[in-house]
Amino acid sequence: MKKKEITIRLENGLEARPVAMLVQVASQYDSSIYLETGGKKVNAKSIMGMMSLGLDAGEKLTAIAEGSDEDAAIEGIDKYLSGK
C-alpha cells in the first residue's frame, strides 16, 4: 500500500468537470485508489463519492493506492491534482 499527501492545485478545485476527469484518471489503474481528507475516505473511481468531498484549490488530501500498479496510480493522481 502506498500513501501520499497531495495539495490540490487545480484552479477551481474539485468541481464537477475536474472530478469527472479525476475519476477517469483513477479508472486507468487496476489498484484500489482512495482519497482521504477531514475524516472522510472515498473511492477515487466513484464520481458520487468524489463529488461529496467538495475540495477547493490549496486543500490537502491523502491518496492511498493498493494493488499491482499502486506506484503508477499514486503518481498519476498526484500529477493530475497538481495541475501538471
Ordered strands of the 60-66 beta sheet: 2-7, 60-66, 32-37, 40-43
Q: Tens of pLDDT along 47-84?
A: 999 999 989 999 999 999 999 999 999 999 999 999 87
Residue 53 amino acid letter: L
- Neighbouring CB atoms inside 10 A of 48's CB total 10
* pTM score, whole prediction: 0.92
Q: What is the reported pLDDT for 7?
A: 96
Q: What is the reported pLDDT for 28?
A: 98
> Which domains are assigned to the chain?
2-81 (3.30.1340.10)
Q: Tens of pLDDT along 32-53?
A: 999 999 899 999 999 999 999 9
Calculate mean pLDDT across residues 6-35.
Answer: 95
Contacts (Cβ under 8 Å, ≥6 apart) of 56:
8, 13, 14
